[in-house]
Amino acid sequence: MEKVHVLTCILKAEDTATILGGQSPASVINSGKYVPVTAKTQKDNLRCLDDAIRTALCGQIRTVVVVGPEGSGKTTALHKLVADWAKGECLQNFSYVFNFQFREMGSSAGELCLETLIQQGHHQIPPESMCLVAEKPDGVLFVFDGLDEYKHSLDPSVHTLTSDLNQPASMSCLLASLLDGALLKGAAFLVATRPTDNVKFLKGTQLEMLGFQKQQRQVYFNNFFTDHAAANKAFLHMERTLGFYDFCAAPKFCWTVCSIYKWLIDSDTKLPETLSQLFVHLLVHLIQTLSLSKACSRGLVLALGRMASHCVHNQHSSCSKHAIDSFGFQQNLTTVDSFLRVQGEEEFSFHSQLIQEFVLAVAFFLDVSTYDDVEKMLDNHKGGAKLLDFFMSGLSEPAQYRLLEDLLGMFSSDQIKGFKSWFKSSSEKTLREYNKSEHYRCFHLLHQAQNESLVKEILTPPAHPCVLHENLSLQDCVALNYVITCLGKRETLSVSRTTVLRETMEVLAPSVSLLHTVILSNCSIYKESVPLLASAVSLGVTRELDLSHSNLGDEKLQILCAGLGKTELHRLNLSVCELTAACCGDLASVLTSETSQLRILKMMFNQIGDQGFTKLCEAMHSPNCKLEELEIPNCDLTAASMEAFAGSLCSGESKLRRIDFKDNMIDDSGVQALCKALRQPLCKLQSLGLFGSGLTGACCSDLKEVFMSEHCSLTELDLSLNDLGQEGALLLCQGLKRPSCPIEILRLTRCELTPAVFKDLGSVLKNGTCQIKSLHLDINSVGDKGVKYLWDAVAHPSCLLEELNVEMTELTDACVEDLCAALRDNNTLKLLELRNNCLTDAAVPAIVQVMKEKVSMEELK
């Protein structure tokens, strides 16, 4: 077979380009503007499709299956590969390449042998060459395009496979024998298809077509437009308004967009902001090109709408000539080429599902007699329609449908009112519920409508409670951003489990600047998105930023800190962000900036260690530092950094009022250093958390001295999960007895306390000067005898307790009489925690009854 003949056949331009149908493969190749597409391998690696195919077929792989959606460039890629082989540029390990279209093979009747099949495929191959094909099958490549258009099964188990090149067989048997390797064993195969059941019968490697990535789209636009400025304008506009849709990766869709953009740019018309607007301009252009009367144009669109309804409802990709006649095309059959792909003489289909759904939406507003109810319309087509409600939402707005009314006549006012009524009622119902995907769908429809007043009408606060947005796609972010920018300044945006790319933040940045609280927890944050986030926060009104449980890391935090500048940020949550000591210098720079407003910093579960914490302590010496609360649990701190912290507390500049050291091994020596500072007049610390900090009773003498100091400002102390024991706790009680001791909240959960300690605590609560309002003594095994001292205190008129936690203290039914008596005499207690004690059904009703009688009691657990 002559390569020259193959090249001539493959580059022969048969089809003319249309806006919806795109360019023919030959036109693309001949123009020298072919742009390779991207594919994903079975190992999820992204590769240039051409390179992936060549690599596979030059190695040991004998079958390559390329799977991709309509318009993704499969046919053009295959033609380019065959053309390059014919030019001697690739795949020269093959002596023969046979190119077939499954569509043409599907109509073949009767039986035929392999040689006849090859000859029918217009391959001019002399008999002697067929002998070489049979002798050296490993030098033969079969290229099959359009497997999804072949309606017969290629399951080898349902055919009697043949291995004889000269044995006639049915087309499906012949193909099954070839692809299974029974016939011409050793030959290679390249098959392109949309997703179809027959793929599972093909062996070998599979490549998933991803189409154009962003850089490839930019090359395509530069090739399409002769003017570089126009190309850049068109490309940037598409990326902003459409680039988040999957189908933007399809070369055919890019051709359609470029064609419409060029027409609009040449006529100095504003480019469309939404998918609906794009298709309005597309339909206007197609109708104007046909130069039909208004009545004929309306009739054509109504006929297209009936065909679209038939295809979507029945989930058929094409219609027969007989069906076409029944839709009312008789007057306009010569004009359908602009909208439909004609396969042979008997089969018609839309160039894309998008235009199919769009004309169906247009027909809904033109024909009240056929489409009388919105919900019924959507239900009848929900199986095969993806964007029908998108287009209906866009077309319900005057700014979009009036362009079409000039060409097609009036849209039905009843249909428009019906759609708006349905949209408002269904949206209000959706937003009262918590189905996140339905929420996003509502936002998408609002985005297509482009009606700010409609957004404000539907998204009133009662109809739209705060919900967590998670697993957002870029498309979801676009719709969400549109809604928020329409509403103006809002309180909170919470996004989780979302990949935050540069493109994501480019889309969400306007929203971020309008929000007081921005939560991006459990997100995968990419480095390129961080400067945009910092800029949005700096330029806006954001007071709280939560990046907890993300993969932020030191490098990205450094970028964030450098970009914050002047900001209203008061709260920053960096918990579980994979940070180390290296980040603390950057945080210190933010804290000491003249413009810093940061007051609350959360850093839990980051391995910053003593070195990192010391840098933060140094920042607290600065008069610019406004930090009031620091949460730093589980950060690998030890006693070694407590001297530095104590120094910052006594510096006279520290504004810190609350710190939580939970689950850091501060130990007794670290507390000793802290207590020296807590007794100083310049120290204003009010809350100290030492939960699980490796303390013993040895630290309690130092804490007692703090309680006894006239300069003590502590109102809250958490010593839970430390082995203080009886001796240490009794020392604390001595300090708590000081008349002016300011402690109001005391947590001693699981501190190895004894009844003697409970007795002293009861005495403290009754002394008339004690300020304790919240007392946590859970997980201390003192039993009824020990807790009785507390019931006596609760009954005393001097007791100010509002919260008491005695969970897991081994209470039994025997305590209930004293407990109920105490509750009746008390007027301050609001919350009582009794869980995980040995109280039975016999005792609990009495407690519940007292609870009902006491107006002051709010919660019983």
Tens of pLDDT, residues 34-57: 999 999 988 888 899 999 999 999
Q: Is residue 25 classed exposed, middle or buried when 0-12, 13-18 and 19+ CB atoms within 10 A define those classes? A: buried
* pLDDT at position 79: 94
pLDDT beyond 90 at 105: no
The H or E element containing residue 531 is helix 530-539
* Alpha-carbon distance values, 329 to 316, 332, 424, 619, 689 (Å): 18, 5, 36, 78, 79
3-state secondary structure of 169: strand
Query: For the ranges 12-21, 111-120, 449-458, which has the lowest average pLDDT?
Result: 12-21
Q: Which two tokens stand for residue 20?
A: 């919806």
pLDDT beyond 70 at 747: yes
Closest CA to 393 of 433, 362, 438, 431: 362
Cα separation, 794 vs 787, whole angstroms? 11
Model pTM score: 0.84
- 111-112 and 169-170 as β-strands: parallel, antiparallel, unpaired? antiparallel
The H or E element containing residue 607 is none
Q: Which two tokens stand for residue 230?
A: 């126009």
pLDDT, tens only, 298-342: 999 999 999 999 888 887 778 877 777 788 776 666 677 788 887
Taking residues 681-685, report their average pLDDT.
93
- How many CB atoms are located within 10 Å of the residue 278 CB? 23
3-state secondary structure of 571: strand
Q: Is residue 539 classed exposed, middle or buried when 0-12, 13-18 and 19+ CB atoms within 10 A define those classes? A: middle
Asked if residues 79 and 30 have their Cβ atoms less than 8 Å apart, the reply is no
- Please report how the helices 214-224 and 251-266 are oriented relative to each other, as an axis angle in degrees rounded to 10: 50
| Sequence-distant (≥ 6) Cβ neighbours of residue 303 within 8 angstroms | 327, 328, 329, 332
- How many CB atoms are located within 10 Å of the residue 515 CB? 24
Query: For the ranges 37-41, 136-140, 208-212, 469-473, which has the lowest average pLDDT?
Result: 469-473
pLDDT beyond 80 at 16: no
Confidence band for 628, pLDDT divided at 50, 70 and 90: very high
Q: Is residue 688 classed exposed, middle or buried when 0-12, 13-18 and 19+ CB atoms within 10 A define those classes? A: buried
Q: For the residues of 20-73, what is the DSSP string, one character each?
A: TTB--HHHHHHHT---PPEEE-TT--EEEHHHHHHHHHTTT--EEEEE--TTSS
What secondary structure letter does DSSP report for 808?
A: T
Asked if residues 456 and 482 have their Cβ atoms less than 8 Å apart, the reply is no
3-state secondary structure of 141: strand
Asked if residues 771 and 744 have their Cβ atoms less than 8 Å apart, the reply is yes
CA atoms within a 13 Å half-sphere pointing along the CA-CB vector of 60: 0
pLDDT beyond 80 at 831: yes
Closest CA to 523 of 554, 500, 540, 489: 500
* pLDDT at position 675: 95
3-state secondary structure of 368: coil
Integer distance in angstroms from the first to the last C-alpha of the chain? 88
* pLDDT at position 450: 94
- Per this entry, what is the length of the chain? 861
| Sequence-distant (≥ 6) Cβ neighbours of residue 251 within 8 angstroms | 22, 35, 37, 71, 72, 73, 76, 211, 212, 220
Cite the beta strand spans of 515-614 per DSSP E: 515-519, 524-525, 544-546, 571-573, 600-602
Taking residues 379-393, report their average pLDDT.
89
pLDDT beyond 60 at 466: no
The H or E element containing residue 159 is none
* pLDDT at position 315: 78
3-state secondary structure of 391: helix
pLDDT beyond 90 at 249: yes
Query: For the ranges 99-103, 215-219, 281-285, 649-653, which has the lowest average pLDDT?
Result: 99-103
| Sequence-distant (≥ 6) Cβ neighbours of residue 644 within 8 angstroms | 613, 614, 617, 618
Cα separation, 267 vs 340, whole angstroms? 27
Q: Which two tokens stand for residue 445?
A: 């429809």
Asked if residues 736 and 744 have their Cβ atoms less than 8 Å apart, the reply is no
* pLDDT at position 464: 53
Confidence band for 15, pLDDT divided at 50, 70 and 90: low
Confidence band for 548, pLDDT divided at 50, 70 and 90: very high
Cα separation, 374 vs 427, whole angstroms? 14
Confidence band for 518, pLDDT divided at 50, 70 and 90: very high
pLDDT beyond 90 at 778: yes
Cα separation, 724 vs 746, whole angstroms? 14
Cα separation, 690 vs 720, whole angstroms? 7
pLDDT, tens only, 211-224: 999 999 999 999 99
Cα separation, 744 vs 718, whole angstroms? 11
Asked if residues 527 and 557 have their Cβ atoms less than 8 Å apart, the reply is no
Q: Tell me the one-letter amino acid at 511.
A: S
Cα separation, 523 vs 496, whole angstroms? 5
* pLDDT at position 437: 79
Cα separation, 472 vs 440, whole angstroms? 9
Rounded-to-10 torsion of CA 467, 469, 475, 477: 90
pLDDT beyond 70 at 707: yes
Strand-pair partners of 98: 142
Q: What is the CA radius of gyration of the chain?
A: 37
Taking residues 613-624, report their average pLDDT.
96
pLDDT beyond 70 at 236: yes
* pLDDT at position 699: 95
Cα separation, 601 vs 472, whole angstroms? 27
* Alpha-carbon distance values, 496 to 468, 469, 507, 579 (Å): 7, 6, 16, 19
pLDDT beyond 70 at 468: no
Chain-centre distance for alpha carbon 656: 37
